[in-house]
Amino acid sequence: MTATRMTLVAALNASLRTALADDPKTLVMGEDVGRLGGVFRVTDGLQKDFGEGRVIDTPLAESGIVGTAIGLALRGYRPVVEIQFDGFVFPAYDQIVTQLAKMHARSRGLVRLPVVVRIPYGGGIGAVEHHSESPEALFAHVAGLRVMSPSTPSDAYWMLQQAIRSDDPVIFFEPKRRYYDKGEVDTTQPAAPAHTARVVRPGADLTLAAYGPTVATCLQAAEVAAAEDGRALEVVDLRSISPIDFAAVEESVRRTGRLVVVHEAPVFFGAGAEIAAHVTERCFYRLEAPVLRVGGYHSPYPPSRLEDEYLPGLDRVLDAVERALAH
């Protein structure tokens, strides 16, 4: 089979379909995931094909969804839970942090909880309050969770496969403003290993590190910098936020000497802070400039008419690139 061009939503749907077909223990659960196919249609048609017992419309209660998914996992199931929007995950935060993340450690390895929590996240779609947030750092800070975010349809397909097959709980952040971007997906091609970063555009002058929705922004910035200033920016798609593939970031920074980390989440205590600290510890003498971060501000996500000011768009990325290159 050759690659098929599809949207990121279609790739996620195909991945869930594969998982449901491959393993009778896989379940899809959440609000409106059944008959409606999810508010973004990620689960479109799955209930029709796999039945109400496999694709479960749950009551509207996020803690209950994750808590009962834990119970189903204890019984041997592999639930893939959908949280409808980023800002709605917090009623489930206790179950995720206190129960899901810790069960393997507190049972000294006797209990495994292969639960995937899918969360459409991020802004840029003109949504109302609580529908545009990027809370990934709040999960990456918790030992016992794995946190990933794909940026392309191909990664969406394969990384979700890896998340579902993992015996650890995975928080799977889906870049909702890239949901309808198209890309080639080859479902027969072996995937890149989970939790590895990938250089998606090589360059010698500066490294841009990003994940999820800001990878495309960084690629655009690299395009502009090449065309307008003849600068060769390398773009690293981190793909995984916990663990972070530090080796790949270090390898890139040792070559370029400059690093700018870009994410929609607030920079304060964000993934960029962790990466900056790590790179400073490991690559201090290779750095030609301080590591810079571009991201959201220490402000609640703004009304949508202001989100272009809040989000790390092309101009803010290029501004940081310019400041790093000025050293």
Residue with Cβ nearer other proteins (197 or 206): 197
195 binds other proteins (CB under 8 A): yes
CB 68, min distance to other proteins, A: 3
Stretch that binds other proteins, among 15-23, 105-113, 231-239, 314-322 (CB under 8 A): 105-113
Distance CA 130, CA 304 (A): 11
> How many angstroms separate the Cα of 160 from the Cα of each of 8, 71, 73?
11, 21, 17
Pick the binder of other proteins from 13, 43, 58, 161 (CB under 8 A): 58
109 binds other proteins (CB under 8 A): yes
Residue with Cβ nearer other proteins (21 or 314): 21
Distance CA 230, CA 298 (A): 34
Distance CA 242, CA 251 (A): 18
> Active site includes 131?
yes
Q: How many CB atoms lie within 10 A of CB 128?
A: 10
Tokens of 43: 């689960």
Pick the binder of other proteins from 21, 36, 61, 306 (CB under 8 A): 61
Residue with Cβ nearer other proteins (20 or 292): 20
Tokens of 227: 């065309």
Interacting residues with other proteins between 209 and 238 (CB under 8 A):
none
Residue with Cβ nearer other proteins (228 or 284): 284
203 binds other proteins (CB under 8 A): no
Pick the binder of other proteins from 45, 141, 180, 243 (CB under 8 A): 243
> How many angstroms separate the Cα of 280 from the Cα of each of 127, 241, 271?
37, 18, 14
Distance CA 260, CA 203 (A): 13
244 binds other proteins (CB under 8 A): yes
67 binds other proteins (CB under 8 A): yes
69 binds other proteins (CB under 8 A): yes
User: Residue ranges of the alpha helices (H) in the chain?
Assistant: 8-22, 46-50, 62-74, 93-94, 103-106, 136-140, 153-165, 214-229, 246-256, 271-282, 307-310, 314-325
Residue with Cβ nearer other proteins (144 or 153): 144
Residues counted in the chain = 327
64 binds other proteins (CB under 8 A): yes
Q: For every residue of 188-208, which 3-state class applies, written as one string?
A: CCCCCCCCCCEEEECCCCEEE
Pick the binder of other proteins from 9, 11, 28, 73 (CB under 8 A): 73
Distance CA 43, CA 50 (A): 11
Tokens of 94: 């206790």
143 binds other proteins (CB under 8 A): yes
Size of the site for other proteins (CB under 8 A): 46
Interacting residues with other proteins between 151 and 170 (CB under 8 A):
166-168
> Quick check: 40 and 178 in contact, CB under 8 A?
no
104, 130, 131, 298: which is the annotated catalytic residue?
131
Q: How far is CA 294 from the centre of its chain?
A: 17
70 binds other proteins (CB under 8 A): yes
302 binds other proteins (CB under 8 A): no
Q: Which amino acid is at 64?
A: G
Residue with Cβ nearer other proteins (170 or 311): 170
242 binds other proteins (CB under 8 A): yes
Interacting residues with other proteins between 35 and 54 (CB under 8 A):
53
Q: Which residues are catalytic?
A: 131
Binding site for other proteins (CB under 8 A): 53, 58-59, 61, 63-64, 66-77, 91, 94-95, 98-99, 103-112, 143-144, 146, 166-168, 195, 242-247
